[in-house]
Amino acid sequence: MRQILPVPNPLTPYWRSEPHKLDNVRTTESVPSACDIVIIGSGMSGVTTAYHLLHENDDPPNIVILEGRQLCSGATGRNGGHCKVKVPTLAGMIAKLDDAGIDAFYDYVHGVMYGTKKIVDEEELDCEFELRRSFDVQTDIKESERLKTAFDESCAAGRPWTNNTSWVGGKNVEQITSIKGAKSAFSVPASSFWPYKFVTQLLARMLDRHPKQLNVQTTTMVEGVYRTVGEGGENNLVLTSRGNIICSRVVFATNGYTTGLIPQYKNTIVPYKGMASHHTPKVPVHPHLANTYNIDHGPGKGIDYLNPRPDGGIVVGGGKWMYSHEKAAWYNNYDDSTPFPKEAFAYWNGYMGRNFLGWEKSQAEPDFVWVGIQAVTPDGFPHIGRVPGTKNQYVLAGYNGGGMSLVLTAAKTVATMIREEREFKDVAEQLGVPRFFGTSQERIEKGNIEGVVSTHGEIVGGK
């Protein structure tokens, strides 16, 4: 089996256009030989897990965060910075979850939104965080009718998610949404922020607060993790490109790269490659786009997501039909250093003027186009908790393209399991985590990843 690890020299995303001073941080010259907890990965999952382990802890553990490349250079530094639950996602869940499960999922994502806001406010992070509204837009009449029927039935059933969701239709839908060809739309709650700035600034606060307990080593590739048994009981040996570490616990905050270190997830957490872009109008457009978007372009195409930035620029991701016919180009692909073919990247040329009313003369063109590695799971849900068959290894990964909507409380769950030596089911109940997020050998063995590859990452729509 090939080693699934971050490749060098990834394409530069807009979010990382201004590297933070910690981008290449090594808080000590050499890798510590021992610590309490090793966290592998320095994106949202890894850094917020460390935050919840250290925050308001009178007896904080010694933690080493290991990153194979620069700080936050994986999915967190490449996604759309967009957090929401799409109406198509909720409509699709009706067939596979009961009302309690749907409610739990909806509440969980909104808990992530408000939990992120709480950290931003308390830590005074300058990361352009906004609580917003978002449009789920349909351009195909059949899809519009299908979702309207599901929404009406959910309203009649009194499902709570409908209380803060409104349907937009009729002759004014293009005017209201600004989307050319829109047949209908749903307005839903959302949040957006600059993920790289969130992570790097939060880590800076933590290093200032816990200089003796927190050690960060970038450009330090983890090459293997092995369980060891000695006089003190079971420990972990973490092999890295710059030395080895003995620790009592390991957290795999590795998302699309998880299989490279935990082979048992080979057919359960599979990496896949997507693309995104940033567009800057040369002629200012007014009024400013206040909503975020998920635009369904109809059969044979798919869904794009848009995150308008405060300065007038737009982050747009999606366009999967431009490359999905070449499965090897995206599925089980962890190489974010190589672009998709030119014709795929050309999809972004003139995108805003082509799709948005009022943007025809904006001369908005992409100034950044990049790719990133995400992870898909057979059932569409993340894996959170203790790695099956181990006592002191933990995983939070497999976000199906919706990491910004899922990570924060997943990290708090793992941190609480470690801090209080508790099991997933008990912590999940306390924190409002859907029970079906818990990792287990049964989930690993159940299902067929090939059956869900067509959705690749549109489960949540958070991006």
Phi/psi at 396 (5° precision): -140, 110
What's the pLDDT score for residue 461?
43
Distance CA 439, CA 443 (A): 7
Band of pLDDT at residue 460, cut at 50, 70 and 90: very low
Provide the H-helix boundaries in 20-140. Answer: 44-54, 87-93, 99-123
Residue 123 pLDDT greater than 50, yes or no: yes
Report the pLDDT value the prediction gives residue 304, as an integer from 0 to 100.
98
Say whether pLDDT at 99 is over 50. yes
Question: Percent of the chain beyond pLDDT 70?
Answer: 96
Which token pair is 16? 């990382």
- Residue 3: predicted pLDDT: 75
Band of residue 103 on the pLDDT scale cut at 50, 70, 90: very high
Q: pLDDT tens across 363-407, in order?
A: 999 999 999 999 999 999 999 999 999 999 999 999 999 999 999
Q: What's the Cα-to-Cα distance from 347 to each of 296, 334, 351, rounded to whole Å?
A: 15, 22, 7
Q: Is 107 helix (H, G, I), strand (E, B) or coil?
A: helix
Model-wide pTM > 0.85: yes
Q: What is the pLDDT at residue 454?
A: 36
End-to-end CA distance of the chain: 29
Block residue for tokens 């990452």: 457
Report d(CA 302, CA 300) in Å as an integer.
7
Q: Helical H runs in 266-406?
A: 327-330, 342-345, 351-355
User: Would you give the distance in Å from CA 373 to the centre of its chain?
Assistant: 10
- Helix 407-420 vs helix 99-123: angle between axes, to the nearest 10 degrees? 80
List the domains of the chain with CATH numbers: 14-78+196-267+379-456 (3.50.50.60), 131-189+270-376 (3.30.9.10)
Q: What is the mean pLDDT of residues 2-29?
A: 94
Average pLDDT, the chain: 94
Local structure of 397: helix, strand or coil: strand
Q: Which residues of 315-325 are buried (b: 16+ CB within 10 A; e: fewer)?
A: bbbbbbebbbe
Alpha-carbon distance of 463 to 455, in angstroms, equals 14
- For the segment 355-365, what is each residue's pLDDT rounded down to a tens digit? 999 999 999 99
- Whose CA is closest to 289, among 316, 269, 264? 316
Find residue 308's DSSP bridge partners: 314
pLDDT, tens digit, 9 for 90 and up, residues 394-445: 999 999 999 999 999 999 999 999 999 999 999 999 999 999 999 999 999 9
Residue 448 is predicted with a pLDDT of 55
pLDDT of residue 458: 43
DSSP state of 186: E
pLDDT of residue 233: 80
- CB atoms near residue 19 (< 10 Å): 16
Judged against a pLDDT cut of 80, whether residue 451 lies above it is answered with no
Q: Looking at the predicted structure, is the pLDDT value of residue 191 above 50?
A: yes
pLDDT at 2: 58
Q: Please check the confidence at residue 457 and state whether its pLDDT lies above 50.
A: no
Bridge partner residues of 179 (DSSP): 356
Task: Supply angle C-alpha 129, 131, 132, rounded to 5.
Answer: 120
Q: List, as one string, the DSSP characters of 361-379.
A: TS--EEEEEEEEEEEE-TT
How does pLDDT run across 230-287, given as a tens digit for each residue? 777 889 999 999 999 999 999 999 999 999 999 999 999 999 999 999 999 999 999 9
